[in-house]
C-alpha cells in the first residue's frame, strides 16, 4: 500500500477489499442515512434497523491501496455482554422445542468477548485477514455512530456488474480438514436440508425474475466450509429493491423469516447491531456489491466482541451448535491470537 493516511476515531470511513481482488479501497467521508443509494457510497444496514433504514459512508475522498494509520477506536457507550455456553445451549433447546411444520429453522446468535492487554493494530489485523481469507469481503469500518468493526465475510447478498447480477444461498457448516479440501459427499442430511431451505426461499423471492441456478457445491471460508447455490441473471433489475427484498434471508434469520425473527427477539439477550445486516460498495466503478455481515467483530479499546451464529433445526444438538459457533470464531480469532500472542 501507499499514500499514508492517518485516521481518527471521529472519522467515518470504510477500508475494504472484495473477494479475490488484490486492491484495497478507502472511502473517507460522511456517515448518514441513505434510503435509496444512487451515488457512490459504502452502504451499511444494521440487522435490526427500524423500518429497514439504511445508512452509509458517502466519500469525500476515495483512495486506492492506501497506507493507513489508525490506532484509537471509536467506542460508543453501548457494550454487549458475552453469551455463555449454558445460556446458549438452553436457548437452542428452547428453539428445538418450538420447531414444527410452521417454524422450520431459527438462526440463534451469541457474543464472544476476547480481552487483550493493549490496543490492537487494526490495520495489521485487516491486512492479515485479507491475506488469510482472500475469497471474502474484508473490511475495516469506523464511525462515531456505530463504533469500529472489522470482518471477513464470504456471503454475497447481491452483486451487480453492469446488467449481470448474482446472489447465493449459503448455509450448513463443517470444519475444513487439514487437507484443505471438503468432498460434497461428507455433508450430512441436517446441513443439506438447512441449505435447501435457504435456496427454496430465494427462489420464491426471485419469483418471475430470470435467474439461472447452479448445483449445490462447497464453499470454503477459512476454517469452515458451507454449502452454496449460486443464482445468476443478465436481465435488467432494480438492484436496491431486490437487495431489500432478499434481506433478511433464512441463512441469518430462519424460516419462515417473520416467525423466526419473533423468536430471535424473544430469546437473544443482545442487539446484533451490524452483525447479519449487510454492507458493501454501491455505484462504484459500475459495480455494486452487498454482503451479509458474517465473521465480524466490534472492536473496543481493549477487547473484541465477536458475533457468531448457528442455524437451529429439528435435528440440532445444542452442544454441537455451540461448537459450530466456536469454529466460526476461528476466522477472526486465529488472526487476533497471532497478532497478540495469546490463546482464547
**Residue 340 predicted with pLDDT over 80:** no
Helix or strand or coil: residue 123?
helix
Q: Identify the pLDDT of residue 339.
A: 83
3-state SS assignment for residue 302: coil
Judge contact between 333 and 116, C-beta under 8 A.
no
d(CA 41, CA 31): 10
For residues 122 and 71, give the distance between their C-alpha atoms in angstroms, rounded to a whole number: 7
pLDDT tens digits for 283-337?
999 999 999 999 999 999 889 999 999 999 999 999 999 999 999 999 999 999 9
**What is the residue-averaged pLDDT of the chain?**
93
Mean pLDDT for 83-111 is 97
In a 3-state reduction of DSSP, which class is residue 276? coil
Do 230 and 337 meet the contact criterion of CB atoms below 8 Å apart?
no
- What is the percentage of the chain residues whose pLDDT exceeds 90? 83
Q: What is the per-residue pLDDT for 50?
A: 56
What stretch of H or E contains 340? helix 318-340
Q: How far apart (Å, rounded) are the C-alpha atoms in residues 209 and 144?
A: 39
Residues 213-224: what's their mean pLDDT?
94
- d(CA 267, CA 284) in angstroms, rounded, equals 39
Q: According to the model, what pLDDT value does residue 129 have? A: 96
Would strands 66-69 and 2-6 be described as parallel, antiparallel, or unpaired?
parallel
For residue 51, which of 244, 285, 264, 260 has the smallest C-alpha distance? 244
Task: Tell me the mean pLDDT in the region 259-275.
Answer: 95
Instruction: Look up the pTM and report it.
Output: 0.95
Mean pLDDT of 73-77: 77
Give the pLDDT mean for 270-275: 95
Q: Going by C-beta distance under 8 Å and a sequence separation of 6 or more, which residues neighbour residue 242? A: 158, 165, 209
Least confident of 87-91, 117-121, 129-133, 263-267: 117-121
* Contact (Cβ atoms closer than 8 angstroms) between residue 259 and residue 103: yes
Name all domains of the chain by residue range, CATH numbers in brackets. 2-73+82-340 (3.60.120.10)
Label residue 147 by pLDDT band (50, 70, 90): very high
Q: Is the pLDDT of residue 88 over 60?
A: yes
C-alpha cell at 314: 429439528
Confidence of residue 2 (pLDDT cuts 50, 70, 90): low
Give Cα 16 distance to the centre of its chain: 13
Question: Please, what is the angle between helix 239-246 and helix 189-206, to 10°?
Answer: 140
Q: What is the pLDDT of residue 77?
A: 63
Positive/negative CA dihedral, 55, 312, 271, 204? positive
pLDDT tens-digit profile of 98-118?
999 999 999 999 999 999 877
State the average pLDDT over residues 149-157. 97
Give the tens place of pLDDT for each residue, 19-65.
999 999 999 999 999 988 889 999 999 998 656 789 999 999 999 99
Amino acid at each position: 500500500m501507499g499514500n499514508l493516511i492517518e485516521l481518527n476515531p471521529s472519522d467515518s470511513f470504510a477500508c475494504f477489499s472484495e473477494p479475490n481482488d488484490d486492491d484495497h479501497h478507502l472511502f473517507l467521508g460522511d456517515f448518514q442515512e441513505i434510503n435509496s443509494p444512487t451515488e457512490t457510497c459504502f452502504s451499511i444496514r444494521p440487522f435490526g434497523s427500524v423500518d429497514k433504514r439504511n445508512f452509509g459512508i458517502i466519500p469525500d475522498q476515495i483512495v486506492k491501496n492506501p497506507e493507513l494509520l489508525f490506532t484509537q477506536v471509536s467506542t460508543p457507550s453501548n457494550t454487549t455482554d458475552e453469551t455463555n455456553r449454558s445460556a446458549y445451549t438452553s436457548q437452542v433447546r428452547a428453539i428445538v422445542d418450538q420447531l414444527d411444520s410452521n417454524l422450520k429453522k431459527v438462526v440463534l446468535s451469541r457474543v464472544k468477548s476476547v480481552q487483550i492487554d493493549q490496543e490492537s493494530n487494526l490495520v495489521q489485523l485487516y491486512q492479515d485477514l485479507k491475506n488469510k481469507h482472500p475469497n471474502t469481503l474484508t473490511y475495516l469500518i469506523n464511525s462515531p455512530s456505530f463504533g469500529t468493526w472489522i470482518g471477513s465475510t464470504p456471503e454475497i447478498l447481491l452483486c451487480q456488474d453492469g446488467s449481470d447480477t448474482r446472489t447465493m444461498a449459503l448455509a450448513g457448516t463443517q470444519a475444513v480438514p487439514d487437507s484443505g479440501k471438503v468432498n460434497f459427499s461428507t455433508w450430512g442430511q441436517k446441513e443439506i436440508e438447512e441449505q435447501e431451505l435457504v435456496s427454496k426461499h430465494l427462489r420464491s423471492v426471485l419469483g418471475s425474475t430470470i435467474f439461472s441456478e447452479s448445483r449445490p457445491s462447497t464453499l470454503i471460508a477459512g476454517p469452515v466450509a458451507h454449502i452454496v447455490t449460486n443464482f445468476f441473471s443478465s436481465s435488467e433489475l432494480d438492484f436496491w429493491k431486490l437487495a431489500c427484498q432478499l434481506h433478511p434471508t433464512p441463512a441469518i434469520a430462519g424460516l419462515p423469516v417473520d416467525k423466526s425473527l419473533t423468536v430471535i427477539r424473544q430469546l437473544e439477550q443482545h442487539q446484533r447491531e451490524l452483525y447479519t445486516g449487510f454492507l458493501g460498495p454501491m455505484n462504484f466503478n459500475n459495480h455494486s456489491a452487498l454482503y451479509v455481515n458474517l465473521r465480524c467483530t466490534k472492536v473496543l479499546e481493549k477487547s473484541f466482541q465477536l458475533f457468531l451464529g448457528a442455524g437451529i433445526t429439528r435435528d440440532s444438538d445444542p452442544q454441537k451448535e455451540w461448537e459450530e459457533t466456536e469454529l466460526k470464531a476461528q476466522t477472526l480469532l486465529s488472526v487476533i491470537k497471532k497478532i497478540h500472542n495469546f490463546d482464547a
